[in-house]
Chains A and B, each alone.
Chain A
Amino acid sequence: MDSEFINSFRSYQKTGNFWLDLNPITKLNICLAFAFSALIMLDWRYGIPLCLACCVVALLAGKFKVFFDMYGKVCMIVILFVTIVRQIGMRTGNVTPFINIFGWQWYLESFVAGWDRITFILGFSGSLILFFATTPMRDLMYSFEQLGMSHENSFIMLASMQNIIDLKKASVTILESQKSRGIETDGNILVRAKAFFPTLGPLLLGAIASTEEKAIAMDARAFSVKRKHTFLRELAPASTTQKTLSIAAWVFCAATLVFRFIR
């Protein structure tokens, strides 16, 4: 047997990357504090550097692809929509012509207001996507359990994620077999809406029926026994430095609030 793999459980899980090895709770504190600071500032001059900072951290953590797969999509939609909506919404009153795109006059004030709002959303989104892209859910749940959360909640979270993967696979299979059995899955919207039920139905009833066995199987694994659990896979608890980092992040967030009020 691979003793290196087995030995890895004997010490705290580590990757050697500073950001990745931060305790999930520390990471969560930092990311949440910055996410809220974006909402508080509502200013592109703060938002753009924050968004870029998220990208840089993701890059340094070696998770840029995972991060940007999600973040890129959000950015595109938000930038496009909000820019256009603002140009439509704010074009009267005291406005300065900015650029003209094929006869469509854009105004500076609405453009800036748009970018304030864009970075408000993207600063918030970037910080949280960064958190999830660099923190496995099981690590987060482990940390919450260390803080006293029940293992049932961990189970709900982790089992949901696995169920989504499993049922997604199954739904593609069922849809294909529906097609081969002659149930129309193309055509007008009503036809397609009707195809929804025979696809979802068997999938869902099967899944519901399996919960009974799942409950029995998990009970055999002592899932419901009231006892203090041990953990095979452990993470290092947050050091004093890390705790200080968390507090600093929230102090910074509070400072943005004060700044916003004074201004």
Chain B
Amino acid sequence: MANKIKIDKLSLFLIPIGIAVNFIGGQIALLLKLPLYLDAIGTIVVGALCGVVPGIIVGLVSNVLNSISDPITLFYAILNIMFGIAAAYLSKKGVFKSFGKTLLSSLLFALIGGGLGSLMTWVLYGFDFGTGTSSIFAIPLHETLGLPKFLSQFIAEFGMDIFDKVLTVIAAFGILQAIPTRFLAKLPLGKIYIKDADLALEDED
């Protein structure tokens, strides 16, 4: 973890919240019986507000904590880390300021989640299908359409992930819009999300 890299004070305290949000997203999805993970909202919000390093930490620690009850998820930490990096990058480019662009960004996140995810599954499960729900779609794709196993797995995971990530980025967008200005002012990338009317106040006197 970031021993030598200095994290600013508020980001440090936002990281545990981001990690908890990753878990709660999944928990609420479960309570609402949604067949989705929704477990990267915290990573994306923290990445977007605090930058690359906090984003990476949220992703990494979330998976470490998840691995307590299911250690194999440790290998998928790389996905969550990539989400954090991507979120920080897109945030700097101003992507999360526009709803349309935010929606589009779900494609990138799903590509990371589905692509990297199926690759990881592919290796871990001996070049075969994994134990995730995506196999329910991947196996028929392989069996009935005769697609190669990896391609079936990729299509299934990417297809499921796109729904997941659309909901995820919408949630992240809503949160970024709703955070009060005084709070944004103290975060490394917070300025990006301060409304123009508030920015104008600072230029006076």
Contacts and interface: CB of A to CB of B under 8 A. Distances in A.
Interface in B71-107: 71-72, 74
Residue of B29, B71, B74, B179 with most partner-chain A CB within 10 A? B71
A113 B33 CA distance: 35
A196 B34 contact: yes
A224 B72 CA distance: 35
Residue of B2, B13, B35, B131 with most partner-chain A CB within 10 A? B13
Interface in A212-233: 212, 214-215, 218-219, 224
Interface of A (DSSP majority class): helix
Contact of A121 (B12, B28, B72): B72
Given A167-B20, A192-B33, A201-B175, A85 B128 contact: yes
A3 interface: no
Contact of A89 (B2, B129, B178, B183): B129
Interface string B2-15: 11000101101111
Interface in B34-86: 34-35, 38, 41, 45, 57, 61, 65, 67-72, 74
Interface residues of A, number: 66
B69 A70 contact: yes
A201 B130 CA distance: 33
B128 A86 contact: yes
A106 interface: no
Interface residues of B, number: 60
Contacts of B68: 70, 129, 132
A163 B17 contact: yes
Residue of A164, A192, A204 with most partner-chain B CB within 10 A? A204
Contacts of B7: 152
B167 A153 contact: no
Given A129-B69, A164-B65, A204-B41, 4 more contacts: A152-B7, A164-B19, A204-B17, A205-B179
Interface of A: 35, 70, 73-74, 77-78, 81-82, 85-86, 88-89, 113, 116-117, 120-121, 124-125, 127-129, 132, 148-150, 152-153, 155-157, 159-161, 163-164, 166-168, 171-172, 175, 185, 189, 192-193, 195-197, 199-201, 203-205, 207-212, 214-215, 218-219, 224
